[in-house]
C-alpha cells in the first residue's frame, strides 16, 4: 500500500529532502513536495506553514519537515493546532513520538542528521502506530494548550 507524504524544507534542508525522496524505499511513498526547489535562501516558516496546512487539511496524513537544525521548521509546523510535529534525531525518538504523542509530522535537521540515520528515522516513523490508551488523554490535552 502506498502512503502519501507531504514533504517540505527550506534551503538548508533541500539536499536531505531530495535525498529522502530518491532513496527512501522501505515502503512505497507518493510524495507531495511543497518546496523549496533549490538551495537559494528562503524562510523556513513559509515552508513549515505549507506543510502544516497540507497535513491539517488532509492533503496527506503525515509530513516530513526539514531545515538546517530541524528546530525552526518544527516550531513553524507546530503553530497549526492540528499538527504535532516532533524533531527527531534518531529512530528511538521517531518511535516514541508516534507511540506516545501521535505525531503527524517528523522534523529533521540536515546539518545534524546523516542520510542513513534520516532514512531510518523516516522508516521508524511510518512503521510505528499510536499506542492510544493512557496516551490519548494527554494528546487530547494538547488541543487545549
Model confidence at 142, in pLDDT bands (50, 70, 90)?
confident
pLDDT in tens, 40-85: 999 999 999 999 999 999 999 999 999 999 999 999 999 999 999 9
β partners of residue 9: 66
Decide: residue 133, CB within 10 A, 0-12 exposed, 13-18 middle, 19+ buried: exposed
Provide the 3-class DSSP secondary structure of residue 3.
strand
Pairing state between β 29-33 and 105-109: unpaired
pLDDT in tens, 92-136: 999 999 999 999 999 999 999 999 999 999 999 999 999 988 999
Would you name the residues annotated as active-site residues? Answer: 67, 100
Higher pLDDT, 1 or 5: 5
Give pLDDT, residue 97: 98
Q: Cell 515552508 belongs to which residue?
A: 47
15 and 63 Cβ atoms separated by less than 8 Å: no
The number of helices, as runs of H, and strands, as runs of E, in the chain is 6, 5
Per DSSP, helices labelled H in the chain are: 14-23, 44-56, 71-77, 91-101, 115-127, 134-142
pTM here? 0.97
Flag whether pLDDT at 143 surpasses 80: no
Amino acid at each position: 500500500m502506498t502512503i502519501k507524504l507531504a514533504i517540505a524544507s527550506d534551503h538548508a534542508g533541500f539536499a536531505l529532502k531530495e535525498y529522502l525522496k530518491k532513496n527512501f524505499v522501505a515502503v512505497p511513498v507518493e510524495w507531495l513536495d511543497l518546496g523549496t526547489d533549490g538551495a537559494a535562501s528562503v524562510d523556513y516558516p513559509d515552508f513549515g506553514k505549507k506543510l502544516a496546512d497540507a497535513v491539517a487539511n488532509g492533503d496527506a496524513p503525515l509530513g516530513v519537515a526539514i531545515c538546517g537544525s530541524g528546530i525552526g521548521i518544527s516550531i513553524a509546523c507546530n503553530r497549526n493546532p492540528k499538527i504535532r510535529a516532533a524533531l527527531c534525531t534518531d529512530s528511538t525518538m521517531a518511535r516514541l513520538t508516534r507511540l506516545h504523542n501521535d505525531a503527524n509530522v517528523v522534523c529533521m535537521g540536515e546539518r545534524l542528521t546523516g542520510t542513513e540515520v534520516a532514512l531510518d528515522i523516516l522508516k521508524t516513523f511510518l512503521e510505528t502506530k499510536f499506542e492510544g490508551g493512557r496516551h490519548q488523554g494527554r494528546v487530547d490535552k494538547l488541543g487545549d494548550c
